[in-house]
Amino acid sequence: SWPRRYNEIVLQVEDENTLARKFYEKRGYVALFSDPACRKFDTTGWMLRRVPTTKVAMRKMLSGSRSSTSFSSEGQFSFDSFFGKIIGK
């Protein structure tokens, strides 16, 4: 159980990592958006290199959570309202 001040859990997973995405989806996470501007470290060579990757932001609403604004009355951020305002929902 989570303290009531938390409404949601948000994480990022690499787009090509289908096993991880399925793992989170089975546990109630929903994809919000893809971010093609992310970077990861390539560890295959002698030196670490930052290479482009696409990450998917995923969210799971916690039980009993509800939000109507970007910030709840307790000051907690809500992705639902934030992205709804951005895309005009």
Residue range 30-68, pLDDT digits in tens:
999 999 999 999 999 999 999 999 999 999 998 765 544
Find the mean pLDDT for residues 6-16: 93
Q: pTM higher than 0.85 for the full model?
A: no
Strands 8-14, 30-42: pairing kind: unpaired
Q: In this predicted structure, what is the pLDDT of residue 5?
A: 80
Query: Alpha-carbon distance 5 to 76, whole Å?
Result: 7
Give every CB contact of residue 33 below 8 A, 6+ residues apart in sequence: 56, 57, 83
Q: In this predicted structure, what is the pLDDT of residue 76?
A: 52
Q: CA neighbours within 13 Å on the CB side: how many for 28?
A: 7
Find the mean pLDDT for residues 77-87: 58
Q: Is the separation of the CB atoms in 47 and 76 below 8 Å?
A: no
